[in-house]
Amino acid sequence: MPGVMTMMAVAPSPCLSVKPARLCSISSKELLVKKRSSSSAHLLRRSWAARAAATAATATATDPYVEQQMMQRLAEDGWVDEHILPLLTPVEEAWQPADLLPSFASSADEQRSQVAELQARAAGVPDDLLVCLVGNTVTEESLPTYMCMANRVAGGSDDTGRDGHGWARWLRGWTAEENRHGDLLNRYLYLSGRVDMAAVERTVHHLLRAGMRAIPRPTSAYHSLIYGAFQERATFVSHARTAGAAARHGDACLAKICGVIAADERRHEAAYTRASARAFEEDPDGMVRALAAVMRAKVTMPGELMADGRDGRLFDHFSAVAQRSGVYTAADYADMVEHFVRRWKVAELGAGLSSEGRRAQDFVCGLPRKIRRMEELAHDRAAKMEAQSVNFSWVFDRPVRTQ
Ligand SMILES: [Fe+2]
Ligand SMILES: [Fe+2]
């Protein structure tokens, strides 16, 4: 599932208007005041987001028992075995991180030569792309959080750790595939010599301890399937764009690495999209309300709580670099909402919808237009702003353009 910053805020973050030059000349007293007000604003924003999510969940609540029954039925009647499990790659056919990195089965000279080649290619990767890559890596490395999250879904959980039903086998298989993503990216970054690995590792440690804010109702199958489809698609886009950019900058090794990860995310997206489509067939009213609830809660990001112990707005800054470099943008989010509305035929849901379901349908179908409009306004505002940079601990405190 997750891998990336995915659906970032459309509006530019207020803190981006602070220039590094001003930060350098600021007094320690001023800095303390700024830090306090910034963290208060952050807390306020978070408590607002939590309230909005709770309101959205209550307003469009679906029946947990119905959701649980559907999940159990899909596993018991073999639907998961037939339509979801084939989307996992058999272990014998799957790539492993060692296949894409210098081989230590070769002679010492050959090992040194392979590492030197990797580093020579990585030398051409610009800092903004490195920041995107580190942000994606950190998010992939928080896989334990996501597995815990996925295992809370009523009717789809692996209660014993060795359950035989289809959803449990999918969850373990999906985790095994995802586990390679963080491993591969982490090893590439380490061997490249381009990033401060201690800062990267600290960020992973912080994020694992912080956890993640989930969908409005974490035990809801409907919310989880929808969230999974969005996250996997966003992750695919981000890794695929990073692959393209790496190739343009002459790093064929990184391009291959991001390319194979993107291909995995594509299969995972297909699984959650297919399962959501099936849930739409079973319970269109419940699913359209769940979709609206997830969208209204703004789809909180798996890596949203990342921290390096220094930059209080690390995720916002990472998102701004991804937006500016085109690795993942607000326009991608609008495209994604449009894609799923079309794929799940949301606009065509008809007579069986409740009044709440119809309201949810109207909201979701009108959402891409609203997001695009907000994105245009943000773009116009950004065009009028001066260039801004932020120093990232991940790249040894070098400044990277956020605006
Ligand atoms: Fe994935
Ligand atoms: Fe992944």
pLDDT band at 33 (very low <50, low <70, confident <90, very high): very low
Q: How far is the CA of 297 from the centre of ligand 1 (A)?
A: 22
Does the active-site annotation cover 206?
A: no
Whether residue 53 has pLDDT greater than 80? no
Q: How many CB atoms lie within 10 A of CB 147?
A: 17
pLDDT of residue 372: 93
Number of H helices, E strands in the chain: 15, 2
| Cα–Cα distances in angstroms (integers) from residue 195 to residues 27, 120, 123, 129, 159, in the given order | 30, 14, 11, 12, 40
Coil, helix or strand at residue 385: coil
Q: Give the whole-number percent of the chain exceeding pLDDT 90.
A: 76
What are 184-212's pLDDT values in tens digits? 999 999 999 999 999 999 999 999 999 99
Q: How far is the CA of 161 from the centre of ligand 2 (A)?
A: 21
Does the active-site annotation cover 317?
A: no
In contact, 324 and 403? CB cutoff 8 Å: yes
CA dihedral 325, 270, 336, 241 (to 10 degrees): 10
In angstroms, the CA 150 to CA 86 distance is 19
H runs (alpha helix) in 123-251 = 127-141, 143-150, 166-192, 197-210, 221-248
Does the active-site annotation cover 181?
A: yes
What are 77-132's pLDDT values in tens digits? 999 999 999 999 999 999 999 999 999 888 999 999 999 999 999 999 999 999 99
What are 382-398's pLDDT values in tens digits? 888 889 999 999 999 99
Does the active-site annotation cover 235?
A: yes
Known binding-site residue numbers for Fe cation: 140, 178, 181, 232, 265, 268
DSSP lists the bridge partners of residue 400 as 390
The pLDDT of 227-243, averaged and rounded, is 97
| Cα–Cα distances in angstroms (integers) from residue 228 to residues 20, 214, 235, in the given order | 37, 11, 10
In angstroms, the CA 246 to CA 255 distance is 5
Contacts of 16 (CB under 8 A, 6+ apart): 316, 317, 320, 385, 388, 390, 402, 403
Q: How far is the CA of 370 from the centre of ligand 2 (A)?
A: 29
pLDDT band at 44 (very low <50, low <70, confident <90, very high): very low
Contacts of 278 (CB under 8 A, 6+ apart): 74, 79, 83
The closest ligand to the CA of 4 turns out to be 2
pLDDT of residue 61: 64
Contacts of 177 (CB under 8 A, 6+ apart): 88, 89, 94, 264, 268
Whether residue 12 has pLDDT greater than 70? no
Contacts of 107 (CB under 8 A, 6+ apart): none
- Among 67, 177, 264, 316, the active-site one is 264
Query: Is the model more confident about 213 or about 122?
Result: 122
Q: How far is the CA of 365 from the centre of ligand 2 (A)?
A: 28
Does the active-site annotation cover 223?
A: no
pLDDT of residue 10: 34
In contact, 157 and 192? CB cutoff 8 Å: no
What are 139-173's pLDDT values in tens digits? 999 999 999 999 999 999 999 999 999 999 999 99
pLDDT of residue 29: 39
Whether residue 31 has pLDDT greater than 70? no
pLDDT of residue 5: 36
Q: How far is the CA of 340 from the centre of ligand 2 (A)?
A: 20
Q: Which helix (H) or strand (E) holds 263?
A: helix 252-282
Q: How many CB atoms lie within 10 A of CB 235?
A: 30
In angstroms, the CA 131 to CA 220 distance is 34
Does the active-site annotation cover 60?
A: no
Does the active-site annotation cover 95?
A: yes
The pLDDT of 233-258, averaged and rounded, is 97
- Among 55, 79, 83, 95, the active-site one is 95
Coil, helix or strand at residue 214: coil
Q: How many CB atoms lie within 10 A of CB 291?
A: 29
Whether residue 13 has pLDDT greater than 70? no
